[in-house]
Amino acid sequence: MLTVTDVVEYVFCPKFTYYSSVLGLKQYEEKRGTVKAGRRLHKKHEKTNIAYMPQLFSGKKLVGCKYYSQKLNLSGKIDEAIESQNEIILIERKYSDYVELKDTLKVQLGLLSILIEENTGKPVRKAQIIFSKQNRIVKNFQIDEPMKQYALEMLNKTKEVISSSIIPFSEFDNRCLNCCFRKICPTGSLNTDE
Ligand code: SF4
């Protein structure tokens, strides 16, 4: 079963999916400082301050829940959510100061919303993202049908790479500089000095 993280990785770079999910190469991401700091942030909020309710929201707080879809062959884990009688509002935490709705975040929110809706029967129309690294900035985003359709399209493309086992095309850019597969990937290694 694929995870939401697998699809987010495809959006980061299709070749990344080939190395991790087709060749089964380890990411060794636990050695990267930002990944470790991000994990610490999520763990801290799963264990402490569980009752904290963001301003303007009311309802039951859900923390670290996992959802599955047999139909999509997909699973995903949320950071937090607020469940009211009529809807569920997703809350995600990002260890970053870049406050923007990037494609990777759109796919994460879209797929998590689909999983929540399928499992609970309640709509997910909003998400609150808490960006915190040097600063703490809270942003609210709408989750709409185009976002969910885009997320499903990326899920299907991820499945295509895995089922075809053909290495996909990716151009060199700034992503490669922080990619854990840079040294074994021709696109990354032939364009950098290391
Ligand atoms: S080095 Fe660049 S092209 Fe290669 S997998 Fe990483 S991000 Fe993709």
Please report the pLDDT score of residue 40 as a whole number.
58
Asked if residue 65 has pLDDT above 70, the reply is: yes
Find out whether 93 and 64 touch, Cβ atoms under 8 Å: no
Residue among 8, 11, 15 to mutate when testing ligand 1 (max atoms within 8 A of CB) = 15
Ligand 1 touching residue 181 (CB < 6 A):
yes
Supply the pTM of this predicted model: 0.88
Residue with structure tokens 């309710």? Answer: 53
Q: Which two tokens stand for residue 129?
A: 């993202």
SS3 state at 177: helix
Please report the pLDDT score of residue 44 as a whole number.
63
| pLDDT tens string 20-43 | 999 999 887 655 555 556 555 656
CA distance 22 to 109: 25
Distances (CA, A) of 176 to 77, 107, 187, 188: 27, 20, 8, 5
Please report the pLDDT score of residue 109 as a whole number.
98
Asked if residue 78 has pLDDT above 60, the reply is: yes
| pLDDT tens string 113-137 | 999 999 999 999 999 999 988 889 9
Please report the pLDDT score of residue 31 as a whole number.
55
Ligand 1 midpoint to CA 13 (Å)? 6
Find out whether 162 and 3 touch, Cβ atoms under 8 Å: no
pLDDT grade, residue 192 (50/70/90)?
low
Q: Which two tokens stand for residue 89?
A: 């509002």
Ligand 1 touching residue 18 (CB < 6 A):
no
Ligand 1 midpoint to CA 59 (Å)? 42
Per DSSP (E only), the strands in 70-108 are 74-77, 80-83, 88-94
Asked if residue 85 has pLDDT above 60, the reply is: yes
Higher pLDDT, 68 or 100: 68
Cβ neighbours of residue 16 closer than 8 Å, sequence gap 6 or more: 9, 10, 179, 181
Asked if residue 158 has pLDDT above 80, the reply is: yes
Please report the pLDDT score of residue 47 as a whole number.
64
Please report the pLDDT score of residue 34 as a whole number.
55
Domain ranges in the chain?
2-189
Cβ neighbours of residue 160 closer than 8 Å, sequence gap 6 or more: none
Q: Can you count the helices (H) and strands (E) in the chain? A: 7, 8
For domain 2-189, give the CATH number. Answer: 3.90.320.10
Residue among 10, 28, 184, 187 to mutate when testing ligand 1 (max atoms within 8 A of CB) = 187
CA distance 194 to 182: 9
Ligand 1 touching residue 176 (CB < 6 A):
yes
Residue with structure tokens 């939401």? Answer: 4
